[in-house]
Structure 1
Amino acid sequence: MNATDWNQASPIAPDELPATITRYLTAHQARDLDAAVALLTPDAAVTDEGRTHQGPEQIRAWLSRSTGEYTYTTALTAAAKTDDQHYDAVHHLEGDFPGGTADLHFRFTLRNGLIARLVIEP
């Protein structure tokens, strides 16, 4: 897989994100594991906090742990598009996690209308 040059991303309005991404983000925030996992390719990978979770079972386990660890609110503050397969959704989080606030990039790679890769990073 080629690396994506996120510096080449062009800003877009958050409502211009593909429906797959919007549905995933909604499911993620609602802690709806079934809906979130249904939007992934069978070989999907998610990287969060430096750890990669491969495939639906590992990703479901990660979602279950990550959504219950802290209480927080999240707001989609920006979005960008590199090409038709690569999108960045920037979220501002506030909650009871260390530091209390964070701005995180949810960097998506789509394949055949589903999420093949998600990298969450500052």
Structure 2
Amino acid sequence: MGCLCPKGFRGNGLTCEDINECKERSACQCDGCSCKNTWGGYECKCKGDLLYIKEQDTCIERSGSKFGWFLTFVVLAVVVGAGLAGYVFYKYRLRSYMDSEIMAIMSQYMPLDSQHNNEASSEAQPLRQTSVGKF
């Protein structure tokens, strides 16, 4: 029963040596990949703004697709538009409705100036006529 070499090494179990995955071309086989051997492993890098995915041995775009940015912009524009429409609805339609309801409630307890003037003048005239008639 012998010892086993760890991953990235080979040997008989007593002596283990590093496997050069780059030299053996067992790693970083995708287009645009560059390989660098490390102790017990390897590192791959992609050219330009690409990102290396080790499990698939491939390079992908780091910045995302143009369709993804377009979709993000559309969703953001819809959210902003809905918020703006809600604000406009509140500001003009709902607020004017609320103001008229508040005025109606307040007029029950505190008569408005126009209502107060009409009531005061109609009440004041009979009092003057009656008080003048008694003397």
Q: Give me the TM-score of the superposition, normalised by structure 1.
A: 0.21
Q: Give me the TM-score of the superposition, normalised by structure 2.
A: 0.19
The structure carrying a bigger strand percent of its residues is 1
Higher CA-based Rg: 2
